[in-house]
Amino acid sequence: MKLGIHAYAWCSQWSNDTLDLIDRVKELGLDFIEIPLMVLDTFDAEAVKARLDAVGIPAVTSTVLLGDTDITSADPAIRQKGQDYLEACVRATAAIGGESFSGVIYSQHIRTLPNRPTEQYYEWSAERLRAAAELGADLGVKIGLEPVNRYETFLVNTCEQALRLKAMIDHDNVKVHLDTYHMNIEEKDFYAATKQAGDHLIHYHLCENDRGIPGTGQVDWDGIFRALAELDYDGYAALESFVDTTDNMNTWVWRQLAPDGDTLLREGATFIRAKQKEYGLA
């Protein structure tokens, strides 16, 4: 299992001013960095690729869809804009040598409905994600669907729902990305949900139930690592805990969850590395 960290542990938006975070990840002994693609205007793929190559670590990418890129919108022009954005993210990921792009990429992040979603929402999502998956397959970039909690999406809250949408997309290049913070709200069992993802699992966000330092809360880490060991998981897993709000995405960090990003990373990584060793995933 490859252990990394999401850049949001330190920064609110990626740009060339944050390229030094790649060096910091390497210095801290982690295997990769996860880079947000929320604002493609500040994403310089050439500069990122050069720094990754110089430092000697890979990157994965992630994002969320917003109102003007919602591929479940009733407006076909917005659905097309969302598809264009997803395809631009796939190209940006390929340009830095990344092999994984994931996140809340199936519907608008933070959108509510007056009723439960109809099949139409899933069909709209599947259609546009199929196009992104086809492009990803051509460029060597896998697409990961990340279930998040009911307060952040109406469409995909559980691993089971992610697998359902994956089946509707009907493309081998679509995978599943789990996140312990959201699983703590929506799943009945961490072990069972992880095993359910099976060989479709491509990425895992390792967060405590309050998004603080892993190992200090209520997440069933033993259940998770037992499942990962049984799956012989060798994919990506990133610490995704926040110590600040961001300018471009809601993180709802209204209190200090760790003294600073470095403390969160150091103590969280120490805990996760110990679990990796305990379960033979180091």
Tell me, what DSSP letter sits at residue 19? T
Element of type H or E holding 270: helix 261-278
Tell me, what DSSP letter sits at residue 29? T
Q: What span, in angstroms and rounded, lies between the C-alpha atoms of 10 and 221?
A: 24
Contact 224, 194 (CB under 8 A): yes
Contact 197, 235 (CB under 8 A): no
Which residue segments constitute the domains of the chain, with CATH numbers given?
2-278 (3.20.20.150)
Contact 43, 89 (CB under 8 A): no
List the catalytic residues: 146, 240
pLDDT digits (tens, 9 = 90+) for 140-192: 999 999 999 999 999 999 999 999 999 999 999 999 999 999 999 999 999 99
At which residue do the structure tokens 């969302």 appear? Answer: 82
Q: What span, in angstroms and rounded, lies between the C-alpha atoms of 43 and 262?
A: 23
DSSP character string of 164-219:
HHHHHHT-TTEEEEEEHHHHHHH-S-HHHHHHHHGGGEEEEEE--TTSSSTTSSS-
Q: What is the pLDDT along the chain (282 residues), one digit of tens a residue?
A: 999 999 988 887 899 999 999 999 999 999 999 999 999 999 999 999 999 999 999 999 999 999 999 999 999 999 999 999 999 999 999 999 999 999 999 999 999 999 999 999 999 999 999 999 999 999 999 999 999 999 999 999 999 999 999 999 999 999 999 999 999 999 999 999 999 999 999 999 999 999 889 999 999 999 999 999 999 999 999 998 665 555 655 667 787 777 877 788 889 999 999 999 999 998
Q: What span, in angstroms and rounded, lies between the C-alpha atoms of 194 and 127?
A: 26
208 Cα distance to chain centroid: 15
